[in-house]
Amino acid sequence: MEEYLETLLLTCQLAFCTTFILVIVSIPLAYGLAFFRFRIKPIIEALISLPLVLPPTVLGFYLLVTFSPENMLGHWLEKYLHVSLNFTFSGILIGSTIYSLPFMVHPIQAGFENFPSILLDASYTLGKSRMTTLWKVILPNIKPSLLSGIVLAFAHTMGEFGVILMIGGNIPGETRVASIVIYDLVEDLKYKQANQYALALLLFSFVLLIALYRLSRRTQSHTLF
């Protein structure tokens, strides 16, 4: 039971930390993609969307190589910052953030792009800055998009396997999340124990989706459009 709870707690911790980072990163990123035009925009959008089509083991492999002490970046991190990312919680956190990025950016970007331009013009006419307009006008009225991004990123991180296995391995209490435990138990033909973890993830994801739909309907009734 102790190992069971430790694994689920570590999985939730990874999902919470990943989602928190993605909220901070994705709002300005999605805002720039929605409201600004620049030549390399298609390249940036392609890079953000790449995890949607790229096998997670491929991403995990390149992160593993990048953070290796034999690589320039990994060597610099270890020599000057005394930081080793491979097979650590920090490493799988970076991998999860990159891999779940499109699940957060795309809904928020869609919310920005669908925001009525007349409300933006009214805010700017009243002398409000872009930053004030973003925080006081846009974000409060795209709550369904924000909630969708948060829930999708969180749920996606809860079930990640390939990226975490490649860069984090299978270290109890450090990188051994629920999806990896399920794989190990199935390999050992311990289906009953595997079902305990799988059922917990299934129920948790189901509850998250129900909460998302309820909150989305509630917030839509309070928006300006």
37: Cβ contacts below 8 Å, ≥ 6 apart = none
End-to-end CA distance of the chain: 49
* Lowest-pLDDT choice from 5-19, 39-53, 121-135: 121-135
For tokens 């790229």, name the residue: 54
214-219: average pLDDT: 72
190-203: average pLDDT: 92
Does 224 have pLDDT greater than 60? Answer: no
HSE of 220 in the Cβ direction (CA atoms, 13 Å)? 11
- Residue 175: the pLDDT is 92
- Residue 223: the pLDDT is 52
Express each pLDDT in 86-120 by its tens digit.
999 999 999 999 999 999 999 999 999 999 889 88
Distance CA 166, CA 86 (A): 9
User: Closest Cα to residue 63, out of 38, 37, 36, 92?
Assistant: 92
- Residue 225: the pLDDT is 47
Between residues 212 and 158, which one has the greater pLDDT?
158
Does 149 have pLDDT greater than 60? Answer: yes
- Residue 220: the pLDDT is 60
Report yes or no: 174 and 89 within 8 Å, Cβ to Cβ.
Answer: yes
Express each pLDDT in 167-192 by its tens digit.
998 898 899 999 999 999 999 999 99
Q: What's the full length of the chain, in residues? A: 225
Query: Which pLDDT band, with edges at 50, 70 and 90, does 221 fall under?
Result: low
Express each pLDDT in 21-78 by its tens digit.
999 999 999 999 999 988 899 999 999 999 999 899 999 999 999 999 888 888 898 8
Does 219 have pLDDT greater than 70? Answer: no
Q: Is 65 exposed, middle or buried (0-12, 13-18, 19+ CB in 10 A)?
A: middle
Report yes or no: 186 and 194 within 8 Å, Cβ to Cβ.
Answer: yes
93: Cβ contacts below 8 Å, ≥ 6 apart = 14, 17, 18, 21
User: Closest Cα to residue 8, out of 192, 188, 162, 198?
Assistant: 198
Express each pLDDT in 156-173 by its tens digit.
999 899 999 999 988 988
196-203: average pLDDT: 91
- Residue 128: the pLDDT is 86
- Residue 60: the pLDDT is 92
